[in-house]
């Protein structure tokens, strides 16, 4: 697994969006938005990670 995959798996574990038995407080909000959170973790976050690393590598090359 790559570091990116490990990060996404750890965030899923931290947010516990896959557990239906947690239906109180903040978990109720996370469960109601689980599709949005899943979309962010699978699609938007990897793009942001790639953009950050490409910017970082270009900065190191130019320095």
Residue numbers in the chain where pLDDT is lower than 50: none
What's the pLDDT at 30? 75
Q: Number of folded domains in the chain?
A: 1
Q: Assign 3-class secondary structure to 18-52.
A: CCCCCCCHHHHHHHHCHHHHHHHHHHHHHHHHHHH
What's the pLDDT at 44? 93
Q: Which domain holds residue 30?
A: 3-62
What's the pLDDT at 61? 62
What's the pLDDT at 56? 64
What's the pLDDT at 32? 80
What's the pLDDT at 15? 75
pTM (predicted TM-score): 0.59
What's the pLDDT at 22? 66
């Amino acid at each position: 697994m790559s570091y990116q995959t490990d990060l996404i798996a750890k965030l899923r574990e931290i947010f516990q969006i896959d557990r239906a038995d947690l239906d109180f407080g903040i978990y109720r909000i996370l469960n109601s938005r689980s599709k949005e959170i899943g979309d962010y973790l699978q699609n938007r976050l990897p793009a942001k990670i790639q953009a950050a690393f490409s910017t970082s590598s270009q900065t190191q090359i130019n320095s």
